[in-house]
């Protein structure tokens, strides 16, 4: 017997038929003797609709009321799934975030989970063999007692947090893809599904553009060592062999991955913008003068390249920001121009960041050098580079995105045969 968390996203509970399908997936696990907590999202499109209602009522609205409204989608699906389970003979009860409770910080709209008491859920597993159907996305601020939500895509984080709280053996994320791929299969048809990926790698993949799960949920899984299994909700429950290994990707500890590749995946993000500050004075305090105001404006700076000046007087500094913050970043820097002191500000939004990820890089030299050569051979110019222990990223012209991703994908032997 295992203790499982099963999480179903919006497309998996998009209508009543799909919810009944989810109920049969849950029954399959219950019949196999497992203790099950299910986390559900709102029906597909429902949260967007609620967000839009808030905006239409008043563009500037109270974040506490926003949370009261958008949390409603999950309330509906959790109740419906409990009914669907009861209808097929499975003992089940729904739980709202405030009922468990899922205690969070006070940042309405993007609250962070601070604690979950899983005792009651576990007690009911034991005493009544009762399935807990938990509304994802929702929390409760511990001091004000108000409903909070965890940010868009937050039910992934609810699932992993509940799994940690009840010490589940595994957290299954049922979604509309059947796992995590070496890169986006729409760009590289030869992309392969990974059997396993380490938390750290998945964290990079998710932060760098692979939108399988909310980034925060992977962080949480890593900290609490929750094994996460990404699998498809479109398989018919009847077709799944309860004793076999279903298709999917296990996100787990590095030690659980025996055949470690040097490179695990290639991620890319087109939502980048490049800013270059020309002829900025080369003296102490300049980086602070530039990045201080950007930080205050809540703009995330990513790749940073600074040259050592030849004349000891001025230098160029290039960095990237999210494309959505490009205009705001330029404005912020223009306002601070007098303090910083520079000749000119250049920018570009038609750039892509391509990242090569793999924990195996820690123990292999020359991984990045190989990529630079291959990209050069295809005439792709690199505008900026950053490296860390388990990844490196290059900033290139957006027009070369597909060529670059495909080139690197074959270069590191990731193409499926």
Which residues contribute to the site for Mg ion (CB under 5 A)?
A: 9, 153
When CB distances are held under 5 to 8 angstroms depending on the partner's kind, the choice from ligand ASP, Mg ion, none that residue 47 binds is: ligand ASP
Structure-token pair, residue 166: 């009840």
When CB distances are held under 5 to 8 angstroms depending on the partner's kind, the choice from Mg ion, ligand ASP, none that residue 139 binds is: none
* Least spacing, CB of residue 208 vs Mg ion, in Å: 17
| Closer residue to Mg ion, CB minimum distance, 217 or 320 | 217
| Closer residue to ligand ASP, CB minimum distance, 208 or 213 | 213
Q: Which residue has the tokens 């849950």?
A: 26
| Closer residue to ligand ASP, CB minimum distance, 161 or 411 | 161
Residues ≥6 apart with Cβ < 8 Å to 403: 378, 380
| Closer residue to ligand ASP, CB minimum distance, 35 or 156 | 156
Map the footprint of ligand ASP across residues 70-99, applying CB under 6 A. 73
* Least spacing, CB of residue 11 vs Mg ion, in Å: 9
Residue 217 lies near ligand ASP (rule: CB under 6 A):
no
Distance CA 219, CA 222 (A): 5
Among 97, 101, 118, 153, binds ligand ASP (CB under 6 A): 153
Whose CA is closest to 224, among 252, 205, 248?
252
Among 42, 161, 166, 329, binds ligand ASP (CB under 6 A): 42
CA 47 vs CA 51, 244, 302: distances in Å = 6, 35, 30
Structure-token pair, residue 281: 């004075």
Among 41, 75, 175, 320, binds ligand ASP (CB under 6 A): 41
Site stretch for ligand ASP (CB under 6 A), options 107-115, 150-158, 363-371, 388-396: 150-158
What is the x/- site pattern for ligand ASP, positions 156-175, by CB under 6 A? Answer: x-------------------
| Closer residue to Mg ion, CB minimum distance, 197 or 275 | 197
| Closer residue to ligand ASP, CB minimum distance, 212 or 317 | 212
Among 95, 98, 125, 137, binds ligand ASP (CB under 6 A): 137
Residues ≥6 apart with Cβ < 8 Å to 137: 41, 42, 47, 70, 71, 73, 74, 97, 149, 150, 154, 155, 158
Please say whether the beta carbons of 386 and 306 come within 8 A. no
Sort strands 147-149 and 113-116 into parallel, antiparallel or unpaired.
Answer: unpaired
Report DSSP letters for 44-69, one per residue. TTHHHHHHHHHHHH-SS--HHHHHHH
When CB distances are held under 5 to 8 angstroms depending on the partner's kind, the choice from ligand ASP, Mg ion, none that residue 152 binds is: ligand ASP
Structure-token pair, residue 231: 């699998």
Residue 138 lies near ligand ASP (rule: CB under 6 A):
no
When CB distances are held under 5 to 8 angstroms depending on the partner's kind, the choice from Mg ion, ligand ASP, none that residue 154 binds is: ligand ASP
Site stretch for ligand ASP (CB under 6 A), options 149-157, 183-191, 203-211, 247-255: 149-157
* Least spacing, CB of residue 152 vs ligand ASP, in Å: 4
Among 64, 152, 330, 370, binds ligand ASP (CB under 6 A): 152
Map the footprint of ligand ASP across residues 381-410, applying CB under 6 A. none
How crowded is residue 15: how many other Cβ atoms within 10 Å of its Cβ? Answer: 10
Burial of 382 (C-beta count, 10 Å sphere; 0-12/13-18/19+): middle
What are the φ and ψ backbone dihedral angles of 415, each rounded to 5 degrees?
Answer: -60, 140
Residue 8 lies near ligand ASP (rule: CB under 6 A):
no
* Least spacing, CB of residue 390 vs Mg ion, in Å: 25
Residue-level length of the chain = 417
* Least spacing, CB of residue 302 vs ligand ASP, in Å: 24
Report DSSP letters for 200-253, one per residue. HHHHHHHHTT-TTS-HHHHHHHHHHT--EEEEES-S-GGGS-TTS--S-EEEE-
Site stretch for ligand ASP (CB under 6 A), options 148-156, 174-182, 216-224, 292-300: 148-156
Structure-token pair, residue 93: 């009860």
> Is the backbone peptide bond immediately before 101 cis, with ω within 30 degrees of 0?
yes
Distance CA 139, CA 99 (A): 9
What does the binding site for ligand ASP look like in residue numbers (CB under 6 A)?
9-10, 41-42, 47, 73, 136-137, 152-156
């Amino acid at each position: 017997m295992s203790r499982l968390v099963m999480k179903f996203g919006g497309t998996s509970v998009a209508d009543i038929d799909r919810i009944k399908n989810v109920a049969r997936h849950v029954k399959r696990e219950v019949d196999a003797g497992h203790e099950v907590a299910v986390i559900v999202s709102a029906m597909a499109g429902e949260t967007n609709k609620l967000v839009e209602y808030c905006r239409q009522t008043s563009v500037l609205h109270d974040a506490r009321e926003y949370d009261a409204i958008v949390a409603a989608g999950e309330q509906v699906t959790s109740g419906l799934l409990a009914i669907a389970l009861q209808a097929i003979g499975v003992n089940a009860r729904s739980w709202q975030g405030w009922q468990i409770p899922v205690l969070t910080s006070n940042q309405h709209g993007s609250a962070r989970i601070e604690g979950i008491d899983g005792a009651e859920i576990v007690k009911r597993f034991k005493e009544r063999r009762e399935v807990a159907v938990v509304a994802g996305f929702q929390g409760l601020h511990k001091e004000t007692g108000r409903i909070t939500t965890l940010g868009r895509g937050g039910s992934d984080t609810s699932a992993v947090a509940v799994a940690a709280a009840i010490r589940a053996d595994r957290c299954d994320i049922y979604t509309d893809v059947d796992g995590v791929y070496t890169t986006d299969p729409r760009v590289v048809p030869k992309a392969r599904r990974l059997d396993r990926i380490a938390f750290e790698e998945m964290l990079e993949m998710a932060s760098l553009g692979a939108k399988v799960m909310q980034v925060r949920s992977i962080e949480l899984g890593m900290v609490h060592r929750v094994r996460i299994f990404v699998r498809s909700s479109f398989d018919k429950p009847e077709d799944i062999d309860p004793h076999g290994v279903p298709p999917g990707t296990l996100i787990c500890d590095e030690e659980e991955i025996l055949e470690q590749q040097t490179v695990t995946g290639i991620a890319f993000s087109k939502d980048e913008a490049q800013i270059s500050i020309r002829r900025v004075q080369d003296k102490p305090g300049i980086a602070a003068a530039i990045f201080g105001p950007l930080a205050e404006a809540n703009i995330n700076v990513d790749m940073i390249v600074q040259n050592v000046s030849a004349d000891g007087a001025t230098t160029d500094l290039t960095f990237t920001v999210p494309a959505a913050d490009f205009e705001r970043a330029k404005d912020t820097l223009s306002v601070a121009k007098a303090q910083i002191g520079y000749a000119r500000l250049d920018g570009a939004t038609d750039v892509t960041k391509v990242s090569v990820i793999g924990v195996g890089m820690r123990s292999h030299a020359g991984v990045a050098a190989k990529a630079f050569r291959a990209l050069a051979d295809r005439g792709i110019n690199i505008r900026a580079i950053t490296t860390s222990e388990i990844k490196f990223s290059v900033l290139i012209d957006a027009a070369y995105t597909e060529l670059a991703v495909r080139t690197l994908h074959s270069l590191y032997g990731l193409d499926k045969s």
